[in-house]
Chains A and B, each alone.
Chain A
Amino acid sequence: MSGVDVCFHTSLLPNAHARDAETITYLAKDYTDVSSSYTVPLSYNYCVGDTETEWLPSSWPGGNVYNLNKNASFANSNVVKGFPMFPTKESDGLYFTPEHDKDSDETIVSLSPAEMSLPFGNDPTAVQISVAASSTVGYISASYFAQFFSVQDYRIKHSSSLSAVQKVELRTVVNKLQDLVWSTGLLENVSTMSGWIKPNPDTMPSANESNYWFTDGGYTDGPAAAQAIARYQQRYGTSTHIKLIISNQNHYTNNNNNIIDYFSYNGNEGTEPGAFTWPMGVGAGPQMTPQMSKQIFAESITAEELSKLFEPVSGTNLTIAVLPVATTVDNGESVCCVIDCSLFSLHLLLNRLNLSEL
């Protein structure tokens, strides 16, 4: 394995509720400007090379810390004001300002970036980093879960299988759940906390205001291709013709949403690469919140064109496609390089311990 960089792709939750400290910390692009607070997950990578390890990006967001009344109700609170909820509205923007500073009973304390503690003591174990990368229900922790529940609320409202009475009951339960989760911190550790230092998590301390949480990397870049290319360009430059193999096992019925996002298509039209947007498949797949646009290639493709590229591998649940030669978009920091893409897509349902098909 010498010469192979191994990268783990994870996502950083935009806010962190530290129950014991009675604070909520909003990560911010610029910690001195609360209007730059993030409301959606951020992409983070941890790469291990032959002689070094590195977080990408190398710097961490600063945090704006707010004191909270732990007994306050969540459902109608200002904790999530300004968050982009589903369904998207004309008024939705991103980097929205959580409106705590407008409340008289709350106090702003701004932390400098240096005061945000580095995750896992800045020296994660293999288990810790893969736990962070795989926190698949992390969206149900912190106040970020309001965005997840906005999708569920929409589904309940528009369900054809639920009666009107059932819809009312279910929405009541969902609202009660949000309050319960918020007031007790019941599910905070379904995401992965940065203050987990010792290998065995049974000694993990409670979160404080300088900690934050990771959730599944699939919520910012499903197949991690953007991260792989970023790491390669960082190490070897941008002038090389390279090949990219994507093995895509994300979704049972439709694996293509998280591939087409890499190209220019009608779903990201008008959105600059790297800007935030509601991705394809919100409410119907693993994407439930706005994300940073994952367009990394300048070329355009349609869903139909992409689907036609796939060919089945006889006797297996696999399909293989050779994607068009692509050129990385100019991000203002690098020139483009050309990439050949091969895509292995696995359509196999293996979400229970039933090994009869192995």
Chain B
Amino acid sequence: MQNDAVSTPSSNTKRGLEEQNSEDLRKQAMAAFFIAAAATTLASASAQNQNDILWSASGGGWRAMVAQSAYAQVFSKLGILGGHDNTNPQIKVMAATSGSSWFSSQFAFSQNYFNAVVNGNATSLGKFTKAWMDAYATTQSNILPNCGILQELCDMGASSEPVLSEVAALIPFALNYNRSWPEIVYAMYNATSNMVYDDPNMVFFGKVGRLEWSRCLFSHIAFAKCTCT
């Protein structure tokens, strides 16, 4: 991913630019602070700093995916996650579930996504994330609040206990995608990989022989040069 390909918020006024610069500085400062805090935390965990590291990550939807991308950038800058010049990363296992797996699938399976995270800074990652979310939002635009034969449940759920109301709120969304979680998430990957990080084949990776897939996944050759079929 080339950072200049990421859409940027329009800020035509001087005040807007100043606010943007201030916001950028705030993010950079937060990132620097977090890097320091993370480094200190990791170092204090053991005097043996070269021990192998496992990184496990919970779900949490977009919250998790976005957080993981920020952590990955920090860990990459700390030199523990690997990157173009690191052939022996300290992190040996990345385990993720749910929203975090949305991050790790793109990070491990798309060179462009990987580059956008690792090669950027806090500001560019923020812009990249906003562009990703904007692309994802296109998959949910124009969905009417229609619950079909489940309208009675939606009406009840709207004024009910939190979990049930959340389920009810998902129904129009689910109906729009044929009540299919795979179709919902596939649409998310399809929109973001096409519109944001220019990797339309992202949704197909994995459909290759095992060794060939792994070679493609973990090589730092552009995917287009892989012989995956």
Interface string of A113-142 (1 = CB under 8 A from B): 000000000011111111101111110100
Interface residues in B101-126 by Cβ distance below 8 A to A read 101-102, 104-106, 108-109, 114, 126
CB distance B33 to A243 under 8 Å?
no
Given A249-B67, A353-B133, A134-B99 contact (CB < 8 Å): yes
CB distance A216 to B211 under 8 Å?
no
CB distance A249 to B60 under 8 Å?
yes
CB distance A236 to B98 under 8 Å?
no
Interface residues in A213-241 by Cβ distance below 8 A to B read 216-218, 221-225, 227-229, 231-232, 235-236, 240-241
The complex places the Cα of A118 from the Cα of B100 at a distance, in Å, of 24
CB distance A228 to B99 under 8 Å?
no
CB distance B97 to A48 under 8 Å?
no
Interface residues in B146-187 by Cβ distance below 8 A to A read 149-150, 152-153, 156, 160-161, 163-164, 167, 170, 174, 178-183, 185-186
Assess whether A111 is interfacial by the CB under 8 Å rule.
Answer: no
> Within 8 Å CB of B10, what residues of A?
none
Assess whether A186 is interfacial by the CB under 8 Å rule.
Answer: yes
Interface residues in A188-208 by Cβ distance below 8 A to B read 188-193, 196, 199-202, 204
Between B136, B161, B180, B220, the greatest number of chain A beta carbons within 10 A of the residue's beta carbon is seen for B180
Assess whether B226 is interfacial by the CB under 8 Å rule.
Answer: no
> Within 8 Å CB of A318, what residues of B?
34
Interface residues in A131-190 by Cβ distance below 8 A to B read 131, 133-138, 140, 151-152, 155-156, 159, 161-162, 169-170, 173-174, 176-177, 180, 186-190
Interface residues in A26-77 by Cβ distance below 8 A to B read 45, 47-53
> Within 8 Å CB of B136, what residues of A?
353
> Within 8 Å CB of A135, what residues of B?
181
Query: Closest B-chain residue to A159, C-beta based?
Result: B161
> Within 8 Å CB of A268, what residues of B?
none
Given A123-B210, A130-B102, A133-B98, A222-B42 contact (CB < 8 Å): no
* Number of A-B residue pairs at CB separation under 8 A: 341
CB distance B181 to A6 under 8 Å?
no
Given A7-B95, A9-B95, A134-B178 contact (CB < 8 Å): no
Q: How many residues of B contact A (CB 8 A)?
A: 98
> Within 8 Å CB of B183, what residues of A?
189, 201-202
Assess whether B79 is interfacial by the CB under 8 Å rule.
Answer: no
Query: Closest A-chain residue to B164, C-beta based?
Result: A152
CB distance A192 to B181 under 8 Å?
yes
CB distance B207 to A228 under 8 Å?
no
> Within 8 Å CB of A53, what residues of B?
210, 213-214
Assess whether A314 is interfacial by the CB under 8 Å rule.
Answer: yes
> Within 8 Å CB of A313, what residues of B?
33-34, 37
- Closest CB of chain B to A218's CB: distance in Å? 4
Query: Closest A-chain residue to B203, C-beta based?
Result: A127
Assess whether A341 is interfacial by the CB under 8 Å rule.
Answer: yes
CB distance B179 to A189 under 8 Å?
yes
Between A2, A47, A246, A351, the greatest number of chain B beta carbons within 10 A of the residue's beta carbon is seen for A2
CB distance B211 to A245 under 8 Å?
no
Q: How large is the interface on A (under 10, 10 to 19, 20 to 34, 35 or more residues)?
A: 35 or more
> Within 8 Å CB of B91, what residues of A?
4, 245
> Within 8 Å CB of B109, what residues of A?
126
The complex places the Cα of A229 from the Cα of B96 at a distance, in Å, of 12
- Closest CB of chain A to B40's CB: distance in Å? 9
CB distance B205 to A125 under 8 Å?
yes
Given A135-B181, A245-B42, A249-B57, A320-B156 contact (CB < 8 Å): no
Given A4-B81, A130-B102, A134-B101, A199-B174 contact (CB < 8 Å): no
Assess whether A346 is interfacial by the CB under 8 Å rule.
Answer: yes
Interface residues in B53-73 by Cβ distance below 8 A to A read 53-64, 66-68, 71
> Within 8 Å CB of A169, what residues of B?
156
- Closest CB of chain A to B105's CB: distance in Å? 4
The complex places the Cα of A138 from the Cα of B68 at a distance, in Å, of 23
- Closest CB of chain B to A267's CB: distance in Å? 18
Query: Closest A-chain residue to B71, C-beta based?
Result: A247
23 A-B residue contacts at CB 8 Å? A4-B89, A6-B108, A7-B94, A48-B108, A124-B206, A126-B202, A127-B206, A134-B102, A137-B167, A186-B150, A190-B181, A192-B181, A199-B203, A216-B59, A218-B98, A228-B55, A236-B52, A243-B45, A245-B53, A247-B100, A258-B58, A315-B26, A351-B62
Q: Which 7 A-B pairs have the closest CB atoms?
A: A217-B97, A249-B60, A228-B95, A125-B206, A201-B182, A340-B45, A350-B63
Residues of A whose CB lies within 8 Å of any CB of B are 1-10, 45, 47-53, 123-131, 133-138, 140, 151-152, 155-156, 159, 161-162, 169-170, 173-174, 176-177, 180, 186-193, 196, 199-202, 204, 216-218, 221-225, 227-229, 231-232, 235-236, 240-251, 258, 313-316, 318, 320, 322, 325, 340-342, 344, 346, 348-351, 353, 355, 358
